[in-house]
Amino acid sequence: MFTRKMIIILGLFTVMLPWVSVQNVYCLEAVVQEEIVVTIYKETDIVPVVENVVILFDSSSSMADQYKDTGMQRIQAQKKLLRQRAEMMPDIPLNVGIYSFSAKLETIYEMQPINKEKLLAAIASLPEKASGPTMLQNTLRKLGPIMQALSGRTVVFLFTDGMYTTFSGHNDMSPVYLAKDLADKYNAHFYLISTASAEKEQKMLQAVAAINESSRVVPFARLIDNPEYYTGAVFVIEESYIALAQTREKVVGFKLGHVLFGFDKSDIKMDYTDQLDKVGKMLEKNPDSTVVLAGFTDSKGKPEYNLGLSHRRVEAVAKYLTQKHSIDSDRIILHWYGEAAPVASNDTEEGRQKNRRVLGYVDIGN
């Protein structure tokens, strides 16, 4: 894991356009919108939390169903979402592969360092029409040799409705078993992008998500509305905005100060309840707002345990907001990273204390 600084010149304008900067408000940093832009530099710390991204695109016949009232089939909605997310991907060192599956696994974009132009062209070539059986087990088997050649941590985005084909009398291993085998052998973590509607399929996906601490089920509709689910699985962002103009400001969001935790603890200290109450009241007053929370640990302990601990910490903050301020859980986006992306040295107690944290950002939806 590493930190990369990049400066993006967003533009030189002489007309009225919005821009964003940061100022302090109480214990939160306010992200404010200005109305005159001269030149903007956006300085970003990008901390990748994986080295490899595998995308499994379900093109089987079950994806021909209409997706809600969009006028699109599920397969078309998948493709649109992938294109949108690929366009958002920053220029960072990352290996990406895209594979379409139904009766067999087909390579759309062979595993390689990301090239946005080639990646978008590959997504454009994905199937538009759904056909064939959902051979999910065969797909997971074929994934083994691909992942064997990789090093580092891999996130697998599996688009699925939870359906899979079995044959009578065939001694076939379940998707849960196969996914766990991949996770154990190749440091794989599954983000199951779910369009499952039946209880049986939902339970199967939840069982896959339970194979390790960092796997999860994300409903397709939530991913469409909240790209942070997708980007947060790949990298952590700390950003500031620098501009060369001063004018009227409008608050569009807030960055939370770090909520710190004791060693091996996930209970919220009284020192941070005032800050969380401000966040809760802000969310109450802005019903279209969302909050993204990310949990971390120091490097003491085993990595899998630390993933669970960071999960418990971020869940504790979310629980505080839902219970005390009645914030709907759909408005709270959670990520947990264990000991990844430290902000201080883990060689000292002072540094470890800073790394035992939850951070967040509130988009107030203006």
Q: Which carries the bigger pLDDT value, residue 250 or residue 144?
A: 144
Q: Assess whether 25 and 56 both reside in one domain.
A: no
DSSP strand pairing (332-336 vs 290-295): parallel
pLDDT of res. 224: 76
Looking at the chain, the whole-number percentage of residues with pLDDT higher than 70 is 80
Q: Assess whether 66 and 203 both reside in one domain.
A: yes
What would the mean pLDDT of 172-199 be, rounded to a whole number? 91
The answer to whether 154 and 51 are in contact (CB under 8 A) is yes
Confidence of residue 237 (pLDDT cuts 50, 70, 90): low
What would the mean pLDDT of 117-123 be, rounded to a whole number? 95
Q: Assess whether 226 and 285 both reside in one domain.
A: no
Q: Assess whether 38 and 151 both reside in one domain.
A: no
CATH number at residue 29: 3.30.1330.60
pLDDT of res. 156: 96
Q: Assess whether 258 and 333 both reside in one domain.
A: yes
pTM beyond 0.85: no
Confidence of residue 190 (pLDDT cuts 50, 70, 90): very high
What's the whole-number average pLDDT of the chain? 81
CATH number at residue 216: 3.40.50.410
Q: Assess whether 318 and 269 both reside in one domain.
A: yes
Is the model's pLDDT at 266 over the cut of 80? yes
Domain with 319, as residue range(s), is: 4-45+234-363
pLDDT of res. 360: 85
Q: What DSSP assignment string belongs to 96-139?
A: EEEEEESSSEEEEEEEEE--HHHHHHHHHTS-SS--S---HHHH
End position of a domain, from candidates 215, 232, 249: 232
Number of domains the chain contains: 2
The model's pLDDT over 58-96, given as tens digits with 9 standing for 90+, comes to: 999 989 998 888 888 999 999 998 998 888 777 788 999
Q: Assess whether 241 and 321 both reside in one domain.
A: yes
Using CA of residue 293, residue 299, residue 301, residue 304, what is the dihedral sign?
positive
pLDDT of res. 151: 92
Using CA atoms, how far residue 268 sits from 166, 240, 260, 290, 296, in Å, is 47, 27, 8, 21, 14
End position of a domain, from candidates 171, 201, 232: 232
The model's pLDDT over 31-60, given as tens digits with 9 standing for 90+, comes to: 555 444 333 334 456 777 889 999 999 999
Q: Assess whether 289 and 209 both reside in one domain.
A: no
pLDDT of res. 44: 56
pLDDT of res. 223: 80
Q: Assess whether 54 and 197 both reside in one domain.
A: yes
pLDDT of res. 229: 72
Q: Assess whether 76 and 210 both reside in one domain.
A: yes
Distance CA 184, CA 353 (A): 30
Is the model's pLDDT at 12 over the cut of 80? no
- Residue 169 neighbours by CB under 8 Å, 6+ apart: none
pLDDT of res. 366: 54
pLDDT of res. 252: 58
What would the mean pLDDT of 132-138 be, rounded to a whole number? 90
End position of a domain, from candidates 186, 203, 232: 232
Q: Assess whether 73 and 218 both reside in one domain.
A: yes
Q: Assess whether 296 and 317 both reside in one domain.
A: yes
